[in-house]
Amino acid sequence: MNRQYLKLGLKCVEVVTESDALRLVGNGFIEFRQRIITAASVKNHSVHTIRSGKKKVLYLYFEGFGVECVEGVRVLDDVSTHLAHLKHTLTKIGGFITIITSGQFLVDYAVLSDDVAAVVIPGKREVYIDKHHGEVTIYIV
């Protein structure tokens, strides 16, 4: 298990990688596994088709995902692992993390801000969502 810290605007998230999983931890978490995405502390979610059906976007809404940065811990703008490349970008309206995953996840890319995660997948894939007590599990087939 590998742990690193990444900026999210003026806050931070912990990036945890295992052999088959990528997890971003803040106030809740979002975890990418092969064909499964799990997220906790989700207020709401939705799925939309874009680009004339060529892509689907899964939106997961949070109430503040980032946490205060821990003093003495090295916080990065950019993290590369065997599973994904994550890059922080800070704009005038806030910060976000772009996540480019390896092909095993069936995710084209994802963008995480402090209040929403947008996960883009191929449009031909079916999505099944299971929600229990603020935790959402998304199955991609």
State both tokens at 14. Answer: 């912990």
Rounded mean pLDDT, 15-34: 96
Residue with tokens 């939106």: 59
What is the percent of the chain where pLDDT is above 90? Answer: 93
C-alpha span between 80 and 73 (Å, rounded)? 18
Cβ-based neighbours of 5, under 8 Å, separated by 6 or more: 12, 13, 14, 15, 69, 70, 73, 74, 75, 76
Q: What is the pLDDT of residues 113-135, one digit of tens each?
A: 999 999 999 999 999 999 998 89
Residue 119 burial class via C-beta count within 10 angstroms: exposed 0-12, middle 13-18, buried 19 and up: buried
Of the candidates 34, 15, 9, which has an alpha carbon nearest to the alpha carbon of residue 115?
9
Q: Rounded to whole angstroms, how far apart are CA atoms 104 and 139?
A: 14
Task: State the pLDDT at residue 103.
Answer: 86
Taking residues 93-111, report their average pLDDT: 94
Dump pLDDT digits (tens) for 54-93. Answer: 999 999 999 999 999 989 999 999 999 999 999 999 999 8
